[in-house]
Structure formats: C-alpha cells, structure tokens
C-alpha cells in the first residue's frame, strides 16, 4: 500500500493558539488530496478536495495548502477553539484508489 | 450509486466473547477497504486495509483479525474480546472524487 503519513499523531493546544499539521504522500501519480474532520462517534466530514499543485483552500478558520511536487499538504487552524477538537484525516487519491493517512488528533484546551 | 453499509451500529459484548463486524460496499469494484478504530484517549488507529480479495494488511498488532471473502465485503473479527477493544470502529473506502464511510459501530466490552 502507498504510504500516507500524518504528523504529529496527536496535538494539544490552548484555545486561541494557531496550529498546523502535515500530510505526506508519494509525489508521483497524484490525482487529488482530501482532508476530513472526524469527531468521535460520527462519520468524517469532508473539509477540502485539492487537485492542483499550489492549491490553497480556506473554510472559516481552517485552511490547507498543497505541494504535489514534494508530496505534502499542510492543514492550518487559526485561533483554535474547543469545537475544533477532532481527528483530522487526509486521503491521497491516485487513479481510483484512496489511501488514507492515520490522522492527527487535535485537542484544544479551553 | 456508491454506498457503504456497516453493521451493527452499537454492540455491547462481554470480555472473552467473539466479535464480527461487517462492511459491504455497493457501486464499485476492487476498492481499497479500511478498518479504523477510535478509542477514548487514543486517537485514530488504522487497524487493517485490503487491496483485494484475501489480501489483508495489519497495521496494529492486537487480538483482532480481518477478512475479505468477497470483493466488496470486509469483516473485522475477534475470537476473544478484551476490555481494551472498546471503541468506535469505522469502515471506509474511496474513489477518485470522495470517500465513503460506514455509519460506524460503537463497541463496548464489559
């Protein structure tokens, strides 16, 4: 299976802090990269679909960038809030196959 | 249409009892299938993935096992459950455009 790595595995930040984490994937045969937000006991929620090198997407306080040549994507959260606590999951898509990362678990401390 | 079915939604099992969670996919063929677990205080774990019938890769050593008897069927099993097996289990697959997630199974081992 292709290696899709996310780092860090877990993260604790104070409310109001900004934070970011990484999804690393193979730089060849790239089709798309997805970011999901997964709260405990719920199905993951789609955040971003990124397809072009240099893509930047934003949704409220959350944004993401994509570098397909070097094989990484960053997810940024500005001014973290307790409701941002969740696992953030990336998925690398090549052809018609998904390869999920292992997730970054974010805890925002009030 | 492409969908994924996972059952049961909730399960309470005694320690030492067996487990069988089933996931079936519709509307695609030869998908990569995944089993994830989210346990309290432990974040997201990729348990098993399968790239085809009879092909199972394990990410986390434990007393769980997985099988893929048919192209669109992925089963998570245990012969004897442990208290530490409690958690939220999620089956997933994706195509080029989106990921599909099962409804999840909340397993409580008592």
- Report the pLDDT averaged over residues B81-96: 87
- 8 Å CB contact between B99 and A36: yes
User: B8 preceded by cis ω (within 30°)?
Assistant: yes
Q: Residue B43 is nearest to which of A9, A97, A100, comparing CB atoms?
A: A9
pLDDT tens for each residue of B18-71: 999 999 998 888 888 889 888 776 666 778 888 889 999 887 767 899 999 999
Chain A closest CA to B72's CA: distance in Å? 14
- 8 Å CB contact between B102 and B6: yes
End-to-end CA distance of chain B: 38
What the block records as the tokens of B39 is: 């346990």
| Chain B residues closer than 8 Å to A34 by CB | 94, 98-99
Weakly modelled stretches of chain A, pLDDT under 70? 1-2, 96
Query: Of the candidates B43, B58, B99, which has an alpha carbon nearest to the alpha carbon of residue A49?
Result: B99
- Per DSSP bridges, beta strands B10-13 and B105-109 are parallel
What count of other Cβ atoms lies within 10 Å of the Cβ of residue B98? 15
Q: What is the pLDDT of residue B10?
A: 94
pLDDT tens for each residue of A87-96: 999 988 887 6
- Report the pLDDT averaged over residues B2-23: 93
Report chain B's mean pLDDT, rounded to a whole number.
Answer: 88
CA distance B82 to B75: 18
Q: What is the pLDDT of residue B59?
A: 74
Residue of A nearest to B47 (CA): A102
Chain A closest CA to B17's CA: distance in Å? 23
Cβ separation of A41 and B104 shorter than 8 Å? yes
């Amino acid at each position: 299976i292709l290696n899709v790595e996310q780092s860090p595995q877990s993260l604790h930040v104070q409310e109001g802090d900004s934070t970011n984490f990484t999804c690393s994937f193979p730089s060849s045969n790239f089709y798309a990269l997805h970011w999901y937000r997964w709260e405990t006991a719920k199905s993951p929620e789609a955040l971003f679909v990124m397809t072009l090198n240099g893509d930047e997407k934003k949704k409220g306080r959350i944004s993401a960038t994509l570098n397909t040549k070097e094989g990484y994507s960053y997810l940024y959260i500005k001014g973290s809030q307790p409701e941002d606590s969740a696992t953030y999951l990336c998925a690398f898509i090549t052809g018609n196959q998904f390869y999920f990362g292992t997730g970054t678990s974010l805890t925002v401390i009030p | 249409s492409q969908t994924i079915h996972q059952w049961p939604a909730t399960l309470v099992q005694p320690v030492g009892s067996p487990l069988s969670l089933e996931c079936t996919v519709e509307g695609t063929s030869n998908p990569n299938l995944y089993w994830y677990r989210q346990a309290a205080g432990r974040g997201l774990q990729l348990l098993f993935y399968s790239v085809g019938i009879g092909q199972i890769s394990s990410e986390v050593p434990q007393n769980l096992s997985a099988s893929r008897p048919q192209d669109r069927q992925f089963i998570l099993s245990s012969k004897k459950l442990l208290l530490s097996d409690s958690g939220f289990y999620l089956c997933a697959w994706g195509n080029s455009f989106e990921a599909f997630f099962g409804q999840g199974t909340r397993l409580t081992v008592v």
